[in-house]
A and B are shown apart, each in its own frame.
Chain A
Amino acid sequence: MQIAVLYGTETGNAEMLAEDIADHLSDHVVTVTNLADFAPSEFDPRTLYLIVTSTYGDGELPASAQPFGAAMAAGAPDLTGIQFAVFGLGDSEYPETFNFGGKRLEEMMVAAGATLLGERVTHDASGDDMADDLAYPWAEAVVALAEPALA
C-alpha cells in the first residue's frame, strides 16, 4: 500500500512520531512529509494519509501545519475519495483545548469530503503512555481498514 505520513509540529515530537510510524509500517511504501511542505492539491486517492499533529498555543494548529490549514480554508478543495486518519499529540494540562490541532485537521478534511478511517486517537503528554505504544496499533488498524480499497 502507498502510505503518506503527514505531520504538523513545533517542538519536533510529532515529527519523531511520524518517522517512527513510517518505520513501523515498513512492509508498505511509506513517505514522511512535513505539512509545511504539502499542499491540498497533492492529495492522491491511491494513497492512505496518516496525519500526525500536535496542538499549540490556545488550541491552534502547530506552526508547521498552519500554511496547510490556511490553504484548506482558502482553497475549498474537493477531497472526495481520499482516505485518512488522524493521530493527535496533546497535553491534558490544558483540558479546554486538549488535542484541538488533531480535531481541527480532522474537521477540515471531513468538510472537504475526505473519509476518516477509524477514530482519532490522542496521546497525552502528561499521561503515562508512550506515544509509540498508542500509535502503532492505531496505524495497523487504519491500514487494515484501508486494505479493501487501497491494497
Chain B
Amino acid sequence: METKIRPLKMTEKLMGFVGKYWQDLWENHRAGKLVAWCSGVSPHEILKGFGISSVYLEGYGGFCSVAGISTDLCNRAEALGYSPDLCSLIRNFIGATRGTPAPGPEMLPFGGLPKPDLLVCMPYCPGIYKIWERYSRYLGVPLVVIERPRLHDALGKEEINRIMRDTISELQEMITFLEAFTGRRFDYDRLSQSIAYEQEASKLWWDVVGMCRNIPAPMSILDAFSHLFPFHCYRGEPEAVTYYRELKSELDERVANNIGSTIGLEKYRLYWDNLPIFFRIPEHIQKFASYGAVPVAATFPFYFGFPELDPERPLESFAKYSLFTPANVGLQARIDFTTKVVGDYSIDGLVMQRSRTCLVVNMGQDDILKELTKKTGLPSVVIEGDVCDSRFYSDSEVNSKIDTFMEILARQGQRKGQGDDCGL
C-alpha cells in the first residue's frame, strides 16, 4: 500500500518558477545579451554586475536527471568517445550540448542551453576544469578560471589568509577582464545588491533546511534537494528571496501545526549522505515512507548558500563563501560537520549514497561512515547510485538493501516517532 505523502504547495509552484528563469534566459540570449555558463560556485553575482545572464551547468544536469533523459545524454557523450567513468553531470552536459546524435531542443528541458559568450569556472574537481578548457576551444569563447584550493585540515591561519587574499585577487582580475570583455565599467553597487539578495536567500534556505530538525519534519530532505533549483537559477536575485520566503512560510505553518511530510507516524528519521539520485527522488521518498521513515537531514543542502555573506564586503565575503563551504573543507572538518548534522536532527539511521561517478564527494565517505558509526552507534546502509546515470543504479538491489536496513531499524524499535493522522 502506498503511504500518502503530503506534497508541498511550493513544489507545485517550483517548475513554473524555474521555467520563468529559463524563458527569460532564452529571451535575453535572443536579444543579444551576454550569457555565461558557470560551474561550481562561480561568482554569478559578479556577472550580474555586468548584466550578464548566468547558467549553472550542474543544476541543469539535475533537471535532465529529473526529466529522465540524463542517461540518454550520457550515452550521446560516450558516442563522442568520453569514458563512462567520467562524472555523469559532465557527460550529461556534453550529451546535451555536443552529443551524437545531437538531441533536439524538444527533447531537452527548457529547450536546451543557449550558446554562451563566456565560460566561468570555480572548480570543485579537476574533471570539470579540464572539460571547460575543452569547451572554451570548441566554442571559441573565453574561459575565466578562479582557483579554489581545498581548505585541508592541516592548513594554518596564515595559509588560509593567503588563500583568501589570492582568491579575492582572482575575483578582482575577473572584474578587470570583464570590463575589457564587455566594454562596461563594473557596477559595484549592483554587486553589493546581488550579495545582499544572496545573503537573504541563504539565510532563508538554511532556515528551511533547519526546520527539518522538528519532529515530525515538515519536509523530507529529499524534497529539499528539488527546492535547490531556485538557488541554481536565481543566484543573487530577488526571485530566490521571494521563493524561499514562501517556502519557509509554508513550512512554518506545518511546524506550528505539528504536520509532517507524510501522513502517519514519523517512526524513523534518516540521514542521507552525498548527492540525491535525482531520477529516483519520489520513489525513494515513497519507499522510506512505507516504513514510516523520513530522510530529514543531509549535508549537501548546506553546500548552497552562505548566511555570512556581507554586502559591505562583497568580494571578501564571496571568497569566504566559496572556500569555507562544507563542500570545500578537509576530511576531519567534513566528519565534524556531518556528526553535528546527525546529532542536531535526531537521526536514527544513516543512508550513505555512493554516487558511482562523483569521486570528489565519494572520497572520504567511508571514513565519515566509520567515524559516525563509532561516535553514534547508528545503523547504516550503503546504496549504490548515481546523480545522472541510471545504468549505475538497480531498483531491485537498492530496494532490497533498504528493506533489510529497515528491518534492522525496526528491531531496534522506533524511538522518536511523532506525527499525526490528520488528512491532507
Q: Do A and B bind each other?
A: no
Residues of A within 8 A of B (CB): none
Residues of B within 8 A of A (CB): none
